[in-house]
Structure 1
Amino acid sequence: MLTIDELKSKSADRIGGLHSVLLAAANVLIQRCYARGISIVITQGMRTIAEQNALYAQGRTKKGSIVTNAKGGSSYHNYGLAMDFALLLPDGQNVSWDMNRDGNGDKLADWQEVVQEAKKLGLEWGGDWTSFKDYSHLQMAFGLTIAQLKEGQRPTAQQVKETLSRITGGEPEVNKDVEVTINLNGIKLTVGVLDNGTTYVPVRALAEALGAKVSYDPVSKTVNVVTV
Structure 2
Amino acid sequence: MTEHRQRFLQLALDADALRFGEFTLKSGRVSPYFFNAGRFDSGTRMARLAACYADAIDQAGLDFDLVFGPAYKGIPLATALACEYAHRGRELPLAFNRKEAKDHGEGGSLIGASLAGRRVLIVDDVITAGTAIREALAIIRAAGGKPAAIAVALDRQEIASEQDPRSAAQAVAAEAGIPVVAVAGMDDLLAFAGTNPELVGFQEPLLAYRARYGNH
Q: Tell me which interval the TM-score lies in, with the shorter structure as reference length.
A: under 0.3
The structure with the larger Rg is 1
TM score, norm. by length of structure 2: 0.24
TM score, norm. by length of structure 1: 0.24
More relative contact order, 1 or 2 (CA 8 Å, 6+ apart): 2
Q: Which has the higher helix share?
A: 2
